Amino acid sequence: MKKRILSAIIMLVIFIPLIIIGNSPYAVFIALLAMLGLYELIKIRESKKQFPFLIKVIAYLLTAFFCLSNYQSNVLTYTVDYRVMAFLIFAFLLPMIFIDDNRRYNLNDALFIIGSCLFIGLSFNLLILIRNYSLSYTIYLFLITTITDTFAFLFGKYIGKRPLAEKISPKKTVEGLIGGTIMGTFVASIFYITVMNNNISYFNIIGVTALLSLIGQLGDLVFSFIKRYYDKKDFSNLIPGHGGILDRMDSIIFVVLAFVLTMIMI
């Protein structure tokens, strides 16, 4: 527990100033997290088979590129550069011909790498664009995930009885889901109303915040499913007491993706 608390304090000491500063320092930090997240996805897949070294290098570079695309923009849209998409397809599909060994590299490997680059790169790119768009929105989204995760853990630990998804994540409970959603929605909605916009419809902000809280918890389960599929407890041990980057950012990844779909309501 002490190791977990110490790691959390160190993460906050690093992360909070970078969020406040924003701009290039924050963008570079998020890009670094994105590459570490991709590293964890590749590493967990490599528990079954190794990827060729050059394929991994190209994947890291492309993920960083996707993450930093339009990193100074404050518009929450991603402009597709078809040249980059063409390069992505060529970079990971053509090597199948030259390697010519299904045991070393095949279509499943190529599609896994393509999907991972896009998923991680674009998700973390949104974290940058949302910060450029508004510091308050960034705090609001992190409040949703942090408060939800904290109280889901507490409610699940002390009053949880009914498993939520026992085969995917045995410790998660229905009571934790409900308690986390209620507290995450309450705290984040109060922040939005008092700091960001006190003229908004309470019905809208509570509804959207509750939806984002639920989606964050579903995102957590998605990443738990991936770990269970590969028979791993954590994505890595990069953060002592917490696991890996994706173990800590699983909820926020899904929340930012859902936010761009729901922000029109708030």
Say which residue, 96 or 266, is predicted with more confidence. 96
Q: How far is CA 105 from the centre of its chain?
A: 27
Kind and range of the H or E run holding 81: none
pLDDT tens digits for range 220-245? 999 999 999 999 988 988 888 778 99
Cα angle 124-76-36, degrees, rounded to a multiple of 5 = 5
pLDDT tens digits for range 188-199? 999 999 999 988
Q: Is the per-residue pLDDT at 12 higher than 90?
A: no
> So what's the pLDDT on residue 192?
96
In the block, residue with structure tokens 């939800």? 148
Q: Is the per-residue pLDDT at 211 higher than 70?
A: yes
**Cα(125)–Cα(66) distance, integer angstroms:** 7
Instruction: Please tell me what DSSP assigns to residue 263.
Output: G
Say which residue, 34 or 83, is predicted with more confidence. 34
> So what's the pLDDT on residue 79?
67
Give the E-state strand segments of the chain in sequence order.
163-165, 169-173
Question: Three-class SS of residue 239?
Answer: strand
* Length of the chain (residues): 266
**Cα(46)–Cα(55) distance, integer angstroms:** 13
- Two structure tokens written together for 227: 């770990």
Instruction: Please tell me what DSSP assigns to residue 79.
Output: -
CB 102 within 8 A of CB 4: no
**Cα(234)–Cα(179) distance, integer angstroms:** 24
Q: Return the axis-axis angle of helices 53-68 and 107-133, rounded to nearest 10°.
A: 20
Q: Which residues pair with 163 in a beta bridge?
A: 173
pLDDT tens digits for range 39-91? 999 999 998 889 999 999 999 999 999 999 888 888 877 666 788 889 999 99
Q: How distant, in Å, are the alpha carbons of 53, 95, 232 from that of 108?
A: 17, 13, 20
- Of the CA atoms within 13 Å of residue 168, those in its CB half-sphere come to 15
Question: Three-class SS of residue 163?
Answer: strand
pLDDT tens digits for range 135-188? 999 999 999 999 999 999 999 988 988 988 888 988 899 999 999 999 999 999
> So what's the pLDDT on residue 255?
97
> So what's the pLDDT on residue 133?
92
Question: Where are the chain's structural domains?
Answer: 22-133, 135-266
**Cα(189)–Cα(185) distance, integer angstroms:** 6
Q: How distant, in Å, are the alpha carbons of 52, 86, 134, 140 from that of 185?
A: 45, 41, 20, 10
> How would residue 8 be classed by pLDDT, with cut points 50, 70 and 90?
confident
Q: List the one residue out of 119, 115, 113 whose CA is nearest residue 67.
A: 119
